Structure formats: structure tokens, C-alpha cells
Amino acid sequence: MKREIKKLKEFRKWFDKYILRNFGKKCSDFVWSCPVCRAYFAKEIFDDLIEDLIETENWSRKQKIKSKSGR
């Protein structure tokens, strides 16, 4: 799973640059009809997904270590 998370982090860097290059800077106020706001909204959801996957992977790894040491 480490390799997949690394690929997602690399994609996130590319996606951040893509949004900045193609949509510009983030608006100060969120407006649902604004394409820039929607692009940054999608970026935030993707960032949250990656962070959740990292936390889940870390928790899973800790549980495996605990189960091995408890035997």
C-alpha cells in the first residue's frame, strides 16, 4: 500500500499545479457556480481522501505490529 500512497501523493502534487495553472488562484469566497471554486473544492476532497488513506494505513500497520507482539 505504501507504493500506491506514494503515487497518490505524486498525483496530488501534479493536480495542485494543474489547478493553479489552469484555474488560477483560489477565490476568497466560495461560490458554487464558479469553476475555480469547484476545482479547488474537488482538490480539497481529493486531499482529504489521501489523508484518510494515510491515516488508515498507519493505523493498520500499528495494529499488525500489536498483534505480532501480543503473540
Instruction: Divide the 71 residues of the chain into consecutive groups of 10 and give the mean pLDDT of each group.
Output: 85 94 93 94 94 90 81 57
Give me the pLDDT at residue 70, please.
Answer: 65
Q: Give the tens place of pLDDT for each residue, 26-42.
A: 999 999 999 999 999 99
Give the whole-angstrom CA distance, residue 44 versus residue 19: 11
User: pTM of the predicted model, to two decimals?
Assistant: 0.77
Give the whole-angstrom CA distance, residue 20 versus residue 22: 6
Q: Which amino acid is at 27?
A: C
Give the whole-angstrom CA distance, residue 37 versus residue 26: 7
What's the Rg (C-alpha) of the chain?
17
Give the whole-angstrom CA distance, residue 46 versus residue 20: 15
